[in-house]
């Protein structure tokens, strides 16, 4: 495959998969997440097997820990003799006696550690597809660069934001005006059944757009002669027009996030803007450039808060204390389940089944999620999955740090990687009180964000036999 064809194919496949994932209600339904999984797997395989990408090294530590985590999930699916099952996880046998009639009446001689194997198989298939997408994206971007992909994601982000903004005053309980969510427990926004999940998608998309903007600011005035007159004339150039469009797109995306009135989303947004500001102050060269970027980042929350309504935002946060009890109760239940299943958990993607028997708080509502993905992973996976997950996070941090050290400071690649790191921090913060990454559409975007954080700048590769297309410069 020629370089140009490879670049176009990967970009189109990635954007098509991400667009489907977010616009099809976050891909929460089987008719949506199975096509998404197929698209993610195909995109990842293209990135991993394309001939022109062989010189781009995979992040080995991340690859190995992804394999280890996947193998640990498969261990939850290995049928064990009932004696061995009781020895490894006594509470699994107790739960199955209440949950599975064939198990209760002695028709089963073997059973896996997962209390519902079909749910864990689904989770494993989605994990495998997303792992392929992550690794394929990291490798492909090491050939093509990330700028064009992030530009496409910015356009997609603006479209998704406009869907939410336009639908908000017209919302009657039907998404897009025709789809009634099967689960009406949350407050919908845009294409999502739950506004917190919309906010989670924007928390990953917006920092990439801000990184694209900062990269453009860093490169925008390099050829401009000194003097205010020349700088003002530059604003009429195509480069300046492009940056203005990107800045406007970021405002639209941030506004849509704030309009959700998601407290976790707004809190993580503030943290992401502070993180972006730290990158700007530390690394953006030139007083004028730094002033422009910092001024924009300071003005952005003021503009969107004023537009969304400061009173509405304050009223929403004023309810935090009274509504926090539900979260605390869910966390206590998750911790209790993790304590009851310490070795291997209940099985990935089985928390909603486990709470049928172990929920003790807020019993008016059935909590299918723990509202803290870290606790939920510990409950579903025990030490069997928790240890590989910690190793995977450590590998991701280590490899991202290494890639950052290889990148030229101030280049577009540097700023896009900074945006990806900020996005990871923002969504990691939200996951401590919500579960946005359990939406397959959000998880697919997270995989691409991690790929951007892990990819190597093409100019930093040792092998230069595969040239970069002239139409896709990095800086």
pLDDT digits (tens, 9 = 90+) for 398-439: 999 999 888 887 888 999 999 999 999 999 999 999 999 999
The share of the chain scoring above pLDDT 70, in percent, equals: 89
Mean pLDDT of 250-260: 96
Give the span between the Cα atoms of 179 and 185, in whole angstroms. 15
DSSP reduced 3-state for 192: strand
Burial 371-408 (b: 16+ CB within 10 A, else e): bbbebbbbbbbbebbbebbebbeebbeebbeebbeebe
Pairing of the two strands 110-111 and 80-81: antiparallel
CA 317 from centre of chain: 24
Give the span between the Cα atoms of 357 and 306, in whole angstroms. 46
CA distances in angstroms from 106 to 117, 178, 433, listed in the order given: 18, 47, 40
Mean pLDDT of 323-329: 77
Burial of 225 (0-12, 13-18, 19+ CB in 10 A): exposed
Half-sphere CA count of 354, side-chain side, radius 13 A: 34
64 neighbors 88 (Cβ within 8 angstroms):
no
The whole-number pLDDT of residue 233 equals: 66
The whole-number pLDDT of residue 340 equals: 96
Does the pLDDT at position 67 exceed 60? yes
Return the higher-pLDDT residue of 232 and 111.
Answer: 111
What average pLDDT does the structure give for the chain?
Answer: 89
CA distances in angstroms from 220 to 236, 243, 295, listed in the order given: 12, 9, 17
pTM: 0.92
List the single range of 39-43, 73-77, 208-212, 362-366 with lowest mean pLDDT.
Answer: 362-366
Give the span between the Cα atoms of 378 and 385, in whole angstroms. 7
The whole-number pLDDT of residue 224 equals: 66
CB atoms within 10 A of CB 269: 25
Does the pLDDT at position 475 exceed 50? no
CA 236 from centre of chain: 36
Beta-bridge partners for 81: 110
The whole-number pLDDT of residue 154 equals: 97
Q: In the chain, where are the structural domains located? A: 3-77+112-325+362-460
With tokens 């910092």, the residue in question is 294
The whole-number pLDDT of residue 73 equals: 98
Percent of the chain that is helix, strand, coil (3-state, to 5) = 75, 0, 25
The whole-number pLDDT of residue 245 equals: 94
List the single range of 178-187, 302-311, 438-447 with lowest mean pLDDT.
Answer: 178-187
DSSP per-residue codes, 330-391: HHHHHHHHHHHSTTT-S-TT-HHHHHHHH--SSTTS--SS-S-HHHHHHHHHHHHHHHHHHH
CA distances in angstroms from 175 to 7, 25, 74, 199, listed in the order given: 34, 8, 36, 16
- Residue of 351, 424, 427, 428 whose CA lies nearest to 382: 351
> What is the number of H-type helices and E-type strands within the chain?
19, 2
Reported as a pLDDT band with limits 50, 70 and 90, residue 467 is very low
304 neighbors 255 (Cβ within 8 angstroms):
yes
What sign for the dihedral angle of Cα 235, 241, 247, 248?
positive
Contacts 24+ apart (CB under 8 A), 94-103: 95/346, 95/354, 95/357, 98/357, 99/353, 99/356, 99/357
Q: What are the structure tokens assigned to 323, written together?
A: 């509504």
Reported as a pLDDT band with limits 50, 70 and 90, residue 184 is low
Return the higher-pLDDT residue of 467 and 121.
Answer: 121
Mean pLDDT of 59-86: 96
- DSSP assigned state of 455: P
Does the pLDDT at position 474 exceed 70? no
Q: Which residues contact 127 (CB under 8 A, 6 or more apart)?
A: 69, 70, 73, 348
The whole-number pLDDT of residue 321 equals: 67
DSSP reduced 3-state for 81: strand
Q: What are the structure tokens assigned to 158, written together?
A: 């603006």
58 neighbors 135 (Cβ within 8 angstroms):
yes
The tens digit of pLDDT for each residue in 2-34 reads: 666 777 788 899 999 999 999 999 999 999 999
The whole-number pLDDT of residue 238 equals: 79
Return the higher-pLDDT residue of 253 and 187.
Answer: 253
Mean pLDDT of 173-202: 87
Reported as a pLDDT band with limits 50, 70 and 90, residue 363 is confident
The tens digit of pLDDT for each residue in 97-131 reads: 999 999 999 999 999 999 999 999 999 999 999 99
Mean pLDDT of 206-221: 89
With tokens 């803290």, the residue in question is 372
The whole-number pLDDT of residue 464 equals: 37
Reported as a pLDDT band with limits 50, 70 and 90, residue 466 is very low
The whole-number pLDDT of residue 322 equals: 67
């Amino acid at each position: 495959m020629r370089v140009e064809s490879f670049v176009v194919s990967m970009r189109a496949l990635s954007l098509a998969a991400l667009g489907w994932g977010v616009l099809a209600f976050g891909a929460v339904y089987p008719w949506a997440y199975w096509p998404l999984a197929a698209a993610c797997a195909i995109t990842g395989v293209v990135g991993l097997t394309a001939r022109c990408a062989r010189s781009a090294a995979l992040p080995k530590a991340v690859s190995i820990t992804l394999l280890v985590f996947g193998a640990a999930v498969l261990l939850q699916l290995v049928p064990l003799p009932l004696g061995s099952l009781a020895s490894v996880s006594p509470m699994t046998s107790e739960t199955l006696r209440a949950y599975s009639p064939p198990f209760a009446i002695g028709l089963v001689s073997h059973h896996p550690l997962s209390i519902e194997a079909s749910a864990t198989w689904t989770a494993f298939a989605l994990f495998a597809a997303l792992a392929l997408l992550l690794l394929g994206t990291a490798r492909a971007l090491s050939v093509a660069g990330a700028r064009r992909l992030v530009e496409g994601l910015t356009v997609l982000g603006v479209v998704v934001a406009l869907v939410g903004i336009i639908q908000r005053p017209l919302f009657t309980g039907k998404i897009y005006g025709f789809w009634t969510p099967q689960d009406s427990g949350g407050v919908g926004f845009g294409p999502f059944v739950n506004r917190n999940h919309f906010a989670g998608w924007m928390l990953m998309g917006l920092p990439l757009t801000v990184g694209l903007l900062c990269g453009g600011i860093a490169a925008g005035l390099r050829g401009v002669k000194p003097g205010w007159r020349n700088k003002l004339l530059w604003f009429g150039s195509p480069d300046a027009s492009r940056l203005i469009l990107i800045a406007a797109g970021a405002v639209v995306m941030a506004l849509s996030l704030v309009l959700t009135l998601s407290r976790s989303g707004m809190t993580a947004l503030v943290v992401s803007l502070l993180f972006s500001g730290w990158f700007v102050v530390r690394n953006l060269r030139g007083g004028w450039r730094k002033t422009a970027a910092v001024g924009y980042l300071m003005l952005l929350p003021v503009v969107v808060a004023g537009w969304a309504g400061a009173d509405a935002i304050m009223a929403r946060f004023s309810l935090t204390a009274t509504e926090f009890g539900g979260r605390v109760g869910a966390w206590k239940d998750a911790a209790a389940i993790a304590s009851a299943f310490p070795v291997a958990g209940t099985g990935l993607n089985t928390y909603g089944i486990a709470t049928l028997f172990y929920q003790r708080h807020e019993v008016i509502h059935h909590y299918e999620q723990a509202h803290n993905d870290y606790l939920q992973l510990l409950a579903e996976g025990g030490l069997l999955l928790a240890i590989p997950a910690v190793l995977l996070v450590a590998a991701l941090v280590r490899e991202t740090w290494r890639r950052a050290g290889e990148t030229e400071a101030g280049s577009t690649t540097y700023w896009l990687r900074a945006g990806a790191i900020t996005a990871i921090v923002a969504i990691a913060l939200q996951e401590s009180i919500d579960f946005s990454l359990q939406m397959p559409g959000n998880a697919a975007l997270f995989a691409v964000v991690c790929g951007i954080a892990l990819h190597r700048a093409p100019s930093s590769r040792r092998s230069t036999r595969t040239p970069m297309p002239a139409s896709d410069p990095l800086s």
